[in-house]
Structure 1
């Protein structure tokens, strides 16, 4: 291993190890660990101390971390819930968000106040479900009605922007992009059918998988990683964002294990939250140019305001229509919580701005400001939601976070 790569990896893992310790010291864990990882990335990155960099080797680990983040996010989503009333409402809400975002950036673009309008509009409609997942776990909200509503909005708020990126930001054109998406979906469906056919109950192969699950073979974990990498590779072949492949892998894994598997989940979370996901967040922080952010505070504040208007307000209104058992509505405090969680964004803002910068439509300085705004939403909005909800981490959530 090259000395520079080894040094960078050392500082990244130091940041990953220190972040949960600092998060645990803070009262009520009000500052999410992912925020501390981002801040640590800024500190060790090229725009601050410059003691770590992201080369090809660490870039591969970063992509795997992003993949694991979205695989676990897709796995946590209840497909029955997503295809039910709550999921349909989340889809309609996201469509409204997209329309509002396009209207806003269209006006700003005509006034000469904004470039890369399509990329910015897509970024405004995203919800960082993968980022919210560890936060919701820590706060014991995943199995609550509020948590399920956030998961619905989060799932659509990630899948929708990824599809919009593929169609609207691709170089092939809308029709060709739709055909490519259809081809990818067909491959994903074929892959989803394989586990049921190959690992039939009573088959020799299933017996071998179960025998090796708790040995050094770790067959179940290796098969999940094969699923993830295979769909990431398919997405790359089709020139799609790897987020789409990882999200599809999570859905397929949930279909293969509909009742869940605590043993498998513990192992996957160990790999994901123990190494790969922290690397993604630290390296995301390293890409933030704090000088550029400090030089344009108005752009930062404006983008935060646009996120609230384009994403937070529609979700707030939609949650008023969400009726639970017995026809109960969310109260205003819960509506605000759902809106705050759903406005939290980061990974897709990173992805969208990266595409815009690569296409020459957005400067790295503006991209840094937008990513910084996404990082601020991760810091501030879940914190505000927690204060409103007076949430305390459950014992199980603390064990998972540890």
Structure 2
């Protein structure tokens, strides 16, 4: 699967470049991120095929990305992102709904691997309303755009590049590391195993409002890498409405997001029926009943709100229908995550950030019954299930060490990993080094 997913490469909250770059007709920028995590041993009454290991483990990811772009014609921009990845996940990426490092699904083992991450065209049509400055950033050239505009993105990119942005919780390279804070875990958006696909997204900016719609390709086989290019038959659709506001003199945004995917998937009801009829069969019964096209859907809300110049609040909540197996993200059907991000201005470290967040993830009744019967899903399955919601606490401190280089210490505590009260809690300690230039 992919998880993501995506480091928000279209708009990153660690602004690395100066507004003095008034106009660019090409760009070449780079990032490098190394994340090291350790998990001490944890309590476990029992373990199964897809359990988080009870013993001590170490995990790491290393990524290096180039962001290359040029202006092609009036309003047109083309971008290419080659990336090198390397890394090892905890327990083979199994055993939890919220992956402890949002970079993990892009890694390919202990040898570096080069791949094309993105290749897309962005076209902008101005509708008037006055000029708005655009600062140089990753996959973004300095210049100006009309405040009211239409933007079309076409090509190879991630759904999360366009949808579900949040200035305080988005990018595991600079914000919280756990995937619970990167996007709603129940947002089973279409993508390959690395979190990317082919498709389009259209955005209409009008004063304080933005409307976004898009369609993306998914994987040929759920959670795997090869892309299904039958975008008229198998796809992921999403629509998002965003409104910017001022609350007590501080800026904020509210986003409403709905999505719908269509693909060849297994339903948990069919998988449970198969297990009951074939008690000696492979417990990963979803593989035996993945024989028809199914619809998945969900909806949620995303809030970001500045409290003052240094402190910000975020909240995401989403609910999915939960009738079918995971298509391309995580094993979660309901999710809520909230927290705060505080700049270090009060102690003379204005480029530092302290983050604190809580997440609460749940399963649908259909998925629970399948796992309680001993079923194995793609990422989770202990052979039994004493169900409780998976809960997570994460805190981090990002230290600015030099220009656009940050060193981060991170701690996570996970209760009921894989929604199982018979296992855990698990603790995770991490260090992250991130640089942009």
TM-score, with normalisation over the residues of structure 2?
Answer: 0.25
More helix by share: 1
Which structure would you say has the larger RCO, counting Cα contacts within 8 Å and 6 or more residues apart? 1
TM-score, with normalisation over the residues of structure 1?
Answer: 0.27
